Structure 1
């Protein structure tokens, strides 16, 4: 299964980790989705890097992460949207260290 952007979409039971990008765990098949109230829809680029995921709860997207990477493979940007909260964008330098937010003025 692929998204419109040509990225592979796979399904998982959950995610783990305290450092971004989070890791998706316990893969499930699309046929198993009808038996689940909650699942993770993960998106991967052609190189196999996780570019984002949606946490789906009772058919509604509760949490969204989108990731962009530096050419060296470290995380460059993470965009996080939680239901009923303002989106958060985190930026990282090429070594993976957080970069201070800058005003958009």
Structure 2
């Protein structure tokens, strides 16, 4: 995942939640990254909406989430990629509810 034009990249200690999109918590300044083994690199559109993130562990991307939204602002699609696993794509209806047969809960990783 890379920043597209109009996207801002900010850094965080972790994320929280079991419902998508996950919430990034405890912002950190870029100059603090050299002191961290693990951090989250979050991407935001011009309106400040989270479009995705990467969990960095010892310099490697361990987990990525990419989000897209309906015009209403509700989550439309989430793509989740974990290191050494196949990507998972979840689709959501206009209200942000998972489309039948999908589980939109994500276990929180440490």
CA displacement, residues 69-89 of structure 1 (integer Å, 9 cap, x when unaligned): 000000000000000000000
Greater relative CO, 1 or 2 (CA 8 Å, sep 6+): 2
Distance in structure 2 (CA, Å) of the matches to 1:5 and 1:87: 25
- Which is greater in Rg? 1
Partner of 2:84: 84
Cα offset, 1:96, TM superposition: 1.2
SS in 2 for 1:98: coil
TM-score (norm 2): 0.87
Cα offset, 1:3, TM superposition: 2.4
Cα offset, 1:25, TM superposition: 0.1
Q: Superposition pairs for residues 1-105 of structure 1, below 5 Å?
A: 3-100=3-100
CA displacement, residues 11-60 of structure 1 (integer Å, 9 cap, x when unaligned): 00000001000000000000000000000000000011000000000000
- Where do 5+ consecutive residues of structure 1 fail to align? none
- Where do 5+ consecutive residues of structure 2 fail to align? 102-110
Aligned length: 100
TM-score (norm 1): 0.91
SS in 2 for 1:97: coil
Cα offset, 1:61, TM superposition: 0.1
Root-mean-square deviation (CA), in Å?
1.3
Task: Answer 1 or 2: which has greater strand percent.
Answer: 1
Native 8 Å contact 1:12 1:26 kept in 2: yes
